[in-house]
Amino acid sequence: MNDNIPEQDLIEAAKKGDPDAFEVLVRRYEKRVYSLALRMCGNAENAQEAAQEALLSAWQGLPFFRGEAAFATWLCRLTSNACVDLLRKEKRQRAVSLDDEDLNLDLPDRGPGPHEAAERQELREAIGRGLTTLPDEYRTALVLREMQQLSYQEISDTLDVDIGTVKSRISRGRKQLRNFLTRTGNLFAAYPSKEAEKEGCK
């Protein structure tokens, strides 16, 4: 089937049971689904399992998809749900690699060099460990915001909670993560960024 077919036409065809139309949708979104799953699960094996489960849920749920949210947002919700279910089922958390810039850690730029590069790699690993200490709802909200770059409204639609709850989870998650990094010596106590201050007050 032609990859240039409008998305809405593909969705309507797939809802009627057309596997070729769904295959085109999968090709368009599989990288995004896997990327989100990898960030949340922390390893390729679990990410692949969660991604497959999300896509299976999408195929089974398409007849009931009413388009109240964008297809990408709906698929993102299925993926995050699959990841959380997998993590809870196995009763373990995996490290997630996040760049320090994504979390507004306000680290000084000391310039390139092997020592500085090693320090930043250590910090990324510490961030991953810190994320595993967060409650599932905080971790999920942070990953969707920082790594997937979703808006608050998109996260609200994805998690099926109101925007106020989304902002609260992100703010509390960032605070707990910063506290973890400070306690473990990976981040000196510092004033929060302006963005973090604004979000914390909303």
- pLDDT tens per residue across span 74-99: 898 899 888 878 877 764 443 344 44
Instruction: Lowest mean pLDDT of 8-12, 46-50, 172-176, 184-188, name the range.
Output: 184-188
The residue-averaged pLDDT of 18-45 equals 88
Instruction: Lowest mean pLDDT of 58-67, 75-84, 106-115, 148-157, name the range.
Output: 106-115
Residue 169: pLDDT band with limits 50, 70, 90: very high
DSSP output for the chain: --TTS-HHHHHHHHHTT-HHHHHHHHHHHHHHHHHHHHHHH-SHHHHHHHHHHHHHHHHHHGGG---SS-HHHHHHHHHHHHHHHHHHHHT--------GGGGT-------S-HHHHHHHHHHHHHHHHHHHTS-HHHHHHHHHHHTS---HHHHHHHHTS-HHHHHHHHHHHHHHHHHHHHHTTSS---PPPHHHHHHHH-
CATH 1.10.1740.10 residue window(s) in the chain: 7-90
Q: What is the pLDDT of residue 125?
A: 76
Q: Which CATH architecture has domain 100-201?
A: Orthogonal Bundle (1.10)
Residue 25: pLDDT band with limits 50, 70, 90: very high
pTM (2 decimals)?
0.58
**Can you tell me the distance from the alpha carbon of 148 to that of 35, in angstroms, rounded to the nearest whole number?**
9
What does CATH list as the number for 7-90?
A: 1.10.1740.10
CATH 1.10.10.10 residue window(s) in the chain: 100-201
Average pLDDT, the chain: 77
The residue-averaged pLDDT of 157-184 equals 88
> Other C-beta atoms within 10 Å of 187: how many?
21
